[in-house]
A = this chain, B = another copy of it.
């Protein structure tokens, strides 16, 4: 568990576990990928000064949160595993943990994105929670929502949604683990919907970024966001049937979508892409300082999926975002792609 969101979440979990001493072990082990900060090890800084100077400077981490640099060591006695790692490391980490964790472990993933099952992109994507579940053989719930790390770390009021398939058994436990005065949790059962909202909203944020870059106003942007949300609901309905429409009203749905389309990095990247006219890779390097934007990747994975299903016409926004990112379509043409949207027929 690292990254800035990871550290922000560790601060919350460090506090909540102290509040429920009968339910939770007071010690929270946080896996830290070791780095040297000047002459000091990052893990030692965290364990002595209680601050992640690299990923969340200035924020005190509760003393019961302990940094552990050996991945297996950090997880082997855990009953609950919280996954907050960059998307691309999930597979490697899980394979390293395989067979070395307890049997009744409950996992929960905060990772937003989809896993492409093969380099050839043969259509079909995999949810990160399902990937973890398959490798480790444990139940994996998800936590998604409008949770920019900086604001969570500042203890600003925000909300999140937990998707927990075994809600009757573990819903209350997960809620207690994360719910706090300024981090308000709702728990729902259709975990797949929660997770798909978290991944697919990044495609919509790209569309919102193009809209901003082209200089359109509030109405157009709102229309683009709404049409994007409609494609998210249609995608979930088609590929993961059985979702509850109400779940899209949770923080993982509209709230995260709004935040991402106004304040997130995919929006920023795609706005700059239009304004500068530079290739997307180059803008990403210049603008995001080493962080990656999931939107274009997710758009590509989803494109192949709907294309192979013969459903491209039902997802004109998703398709347009992919083609614009690839340079196959000019950003200026996006709105024309939306004018005959199935929503308007």
Contact = CB atoms under 8 A, between A and B. Distances in A.
Interface of A: 146-148, 150-152, 154, 156-159, 179, 181-182, 184-186, 216-223, 225-227, 229-230, 233, 245-246, 248-251, 254-256, 258-259, 262-263, 335, 338-339, 341, 343-344
A297 B259 CA distance: 28
A249 B233 contact: yes
A66 to B, nearest CB: 28
A167 to B, nearest CB: 15
Contact of A186 (B181, B185, B217, B344): B344
Given A186-B343, A246-B245, A338-B157, A147 B219 contact: yes
Contacts of A227: 159
Contacts of A223: 146, 157-159, 184, 251, 255
A256 B222 contact: yes
A255, A338, A341, most chain B CB atoms within 10 A: A255
Contacts of A230: 249
Contacts of A154: 217
Contact of A222 (B225, B245, B258, B341): B258
A218 B151 contact: yes
B255 A159 contact: no
Given A185-B344, A245-B246, A344-B185, A259 B339 contact: no
10 contacts: A159-B222, A159-B226, A181-B339, A184-B339, A184-B341, A218-B263, A222-B256, A223-B255, A258-B258, A262-B262
A184, A229, A338, most chain B CB atoms within 10 A: A184
A146 B222 contact: yes
A158 to B, nearest CB: 4
Contacts of A147: 219
Nearest to A183: B219
A218 B249 contact: no
A255 B211 CA distance: 15
Nearest to A149: B219
A230 B222 CA distance: 19
A218 B146 contact: yes
A222 B186 contact: no
A181 B221 CA distance: 16
A190 to B, nearest CB: 15
A217 B147 CA distance: 10
A14 B204 CA distance: 34
Contacts of A218: 146, 148, 151, 259, 262-263
Given A217-B263, A226-B249, A262-B218, A157 B339 contact: yes
Contact of A151 (B151, B220, B254, B335): B220
Contacts of A250: 226
Nearest to A154: B217
A250 B233 CA distance: 13
